[in-house]
Amino acid sequence: MKERNRTLSEKKIEQNINFFDHWAKTYDKNLFQFWMRRFYRPALKIIDGGKILDVSCGTGEFLRELAKKKKNLIYGIDLSPQMIAQARQKLGRQINLQKADVHILPFPENSFDYVVSTESFHHYYNQYKALAEMKRVAKKGGKVIVVDINFFLPPIHWLFEMLEPGCVKINSRKEIKNIFQKLGLGDIVQRRSFIFSVLTMGVKK
């Protein structure tokens, strides 16, 4: 009874924290990062400086790449305390890191030139609200970028949703574009980033 009364958000938060806390120490293993780097590389190429927020930064690999460009002012948040701990160990104090939920971002509106989320959107329990928060903290004219998995075929998405703990929904290109459009993000572009991932970018008008 108790289990049934728990909301989807509570369930997904708990599953995601458990899953990623457990994975944090081995997340940077070479073979896995070989793939992840290819997924987020197109986003790195787009970001040309300014104040940047990496939402669901994980162990901070994307942030580490961003930090190589000196003109960047960088922030990262993640739901999993252990992921944040790994990122902090790796990045030191040069980057502002904190534990937070994408649905309630701890920043004022109009704060960032780029707000980016890589390979995490399918874990968000309310994807519309999550993207709305990302848009809220972006500056006017700022860019919101989501890179997320996309395996071409709905049955594979369904299988992934069943099997990966904390997974909520994997979107088709059209579905994710719809969320961007509903939120009034403009100049939307989409492209495949490597094989199993799609990048969607919109501008806050």
Ligand X SMILES: C[S@@+](CC[C@H](N)C(=O)[O-])C[C@H]1O[C@@H](n2cnc3c(N)ncnc32)[C@H](O)[C@@H]1O
Q: H or E stretch including 182?
A: helix 173-182
**Residue 122 binds to ligand X (criterion: CB under 6 A):** no
The stretch among 42-50, 118-126, 153-161, 178-186 that binds ligand X (CB under 6 A) is 118-126
Buried b (16+ CB within 10 A) or exposed e, 158-169: eeeeeeeebbbe
**Residue 40 binds to ligand X (criterion: CB under 6 A):** yes
Can you tell me the distance from the alpha carbon of 193 to that of 150, in angstroms, rounded to the nearest whole number?
10
Q: Which is nearer to ligand X, 32 or 152 (CB)?
A: 32
CB-based contact 54:120 (threshold 8 Å): no
Can you tell me the distance from the alpha carbon of 170 to that of 80, in angstroms, rounded to the nearest whole number?
20
Interacting residues of 83 by C-beta distance below 8 A, sequence separation 6+:
20, 21, 24, 27, 57, 58, 59
Binding mask 10-39 for ligand X (x = CB under 6 A): ------x---x---------------x---
Give the footprint of ligand X on residues 167-186 (CB under 6 A): none
| From 91, 107, 115, 123, residue interacting with ligand X (rule: CB under 6 A) | 123
Q: Treating both helix axes as pointing N-terminal to C-terminal, what angle do 127-137 and 173-182 enclose, rounded to 10 degrees? A: 50
Give the footprint of ligand X on residues 49-88 (CB under 6 A): 56-58, 61-62, 78-80, 83
If you ran DSSP here, which 8-state letter would residue 192 be given? E
**Residue 148 binds to ligand X (criterion: CB under 6 A):** no
- Start-to-end CA distance of the chain, whole Å, equals 46
What is the closest distance, in whole angstroms, from the C-beta atom of residue 125 to ligand X in the complex? Answer: 7
What is the closest distance, in whole angstroms, from the C-beta atom of residue 205 to ligand X in the complex? Answer: 25
Q: Which is nearer to ligand X, 102 or 185 (CB)?
A: 102
Q: Taking CB positions, which residue lies at the least distance from ligand X?
A: 58
Sites of contact with ligand X (CB under 6 A): 16, 20, 36, 40, 56-58, 61-62, 78-80, 83, 101-103, 118-120, 123-124
